[in-house]
Structure 1
Amino acid sequence: MTKSPLFAALLTPHRSLSPQGIRWVIAFTCVMASIPGIAFYAMGAWPVVGLLGLDVLLLYWALTASLRDTEMFEEITLWPDALDIRHVTKKGRETALSFNPFFIRLSVVRDNEDRVTALKILTREGETEIGRFLTPDDKASFAEAFGHALSRAKR
């Protein structure tokens, strides 16, 4: 009989734009950049057109780089006798850590406005940050759920 985990979560970065959304944003940006581009070209300031095109290319690069970040994730599983953390980067590099839940503590770091800025697993050997790519609201809700599960595991 396999035991079931006390808590399991798959943390992934949130991306609001799909590939189709990126195409729409770039198309809209091209149309909007062409309006001043045509005006500057007509006045004889044709180098401005190239700079506007460079802006569109940089925006496209930034949006596609952001979309590639969705391939990263963290898998956190709390068993009665172990906490397993598996982190996979966008390039596919994997790091796996395992801790005894009786010897760890969840540290929630907050800023001056009481927003959660970091979640850390504290051990005798050091600390490990989890959910680095989550928004402050997502970090807060994860910390609450994980904190309850961790306290149940220590009973």
Structure 2
Amino acid sequence: MTQSPLFAALLTPHRSLSPKGIKLTIAIFAGLAAIPGLAFFSMGAWPVVGLMGIDVLILYWALTASLKDKDAFEEITLWPDALDIRHVTKTGRETALSFNPFFVRFSVVRDNEDRVTALKILTRDGEFEVGKFLTPDDKASFAAVFAPALHRAKA
């Protein structure tokens, strides 16, 4: 019989737009940029059209660059005798760590406005930050469920 984990979570970066949403956003932005662009073109200020086109390209680049992080994730599994953390970057590079939960401390770092800025696993050998790509609210939610699970594993 296999034992089940005390806690398991798959942390992924937040995606505000899908590829279809990015295309729609770019189409709307390009359409709105074309309105003053045509007005400037008719007045003979044609370089403005090129500059507005560059704005559209920069927005497209920024939105697609943020979408490339979609393949990154962290898998955190807490067993009665082990804490396993598997981190996979957007390029597919994988790092796997395993700790004894009895020798691990979980630290929540907050800023002056009480927002969670970092989640750290502290060991004798150093510290490892988890969920770097999460929003402050997501970090707080993760901390609220992970900390009690780690405490139960130590008991």
Common fold: TM-score over 0.5: yes
How far did residue 28 of structure 1 move?
Answer: 0.4
CA distance in 2, matches of 1:87, 1:68: 16
CA distance in 1, matches of 2:100, 2:144: 20
CA distance in 2 between counterparts of 1:127 and 1:143 reads 16
- Aligned-CA RMSD value: 0.8
The TM-score with structure 2 as length reference comes to: 0.97
Q: Give the whole-Å Cα distance in 2 for the aligned partners of 1:69 and 1:121.
A: 23
Match in the other structure for 1:126: 126
One-letter amino acid of the structure 2 residue matched with residue 154 of structure 1: K
Structure 2 alignment gaps of length 5 or more: none
TM-score, structure 1 as length reference: 0.97
Gaps of 5+ in 1: none
Which residue of 1 is the match for residue 69 of structure 2? 69
- Find out whether 1:79 has 2:79 as its counterpart: yes
Q: Aligned AA for 1:82?
A: A
Q: Report the counterpart of residue 88 of structure 1 in structure 2.
A: 88
Aligned-pair CA distance for 1:44: 1.5
Q: Which amino acid aligns with 2:74?
A: E
The structural deviation recorded for 1:108 is 0.2
Shift of 1:69: 1.0
User: C-alpha separation between the residues in 2 aligned to 1:35 and 1:10?
Assistant: 45
> What's the counterpart of residue 117 of structure 1?
117
Runs of 4 or more above 6 Å deviation: none
CA–CA separation in structure 2 for the residues paired with 1:105 and 1:144: 14
Aligned residues: 155
SS at match of 2:124: coil
Identity %: 78
Cα deviation code 1:102-129 (max 9, x no counterpart):
1110000001110101000011111100
Which amino acid is the alignment partner of residue 104 of structure 1?
Answer: V
1:50 matches 2:22: no
Aligned counterpart, 2:2: 2
Q: Deviations over 1:52-84 (max 9, x none)?
A: 111101111111111121111000000111100
Deviations along 1:78-102, whole A, 9 cap, x unmatched?
0111100000011111111111101
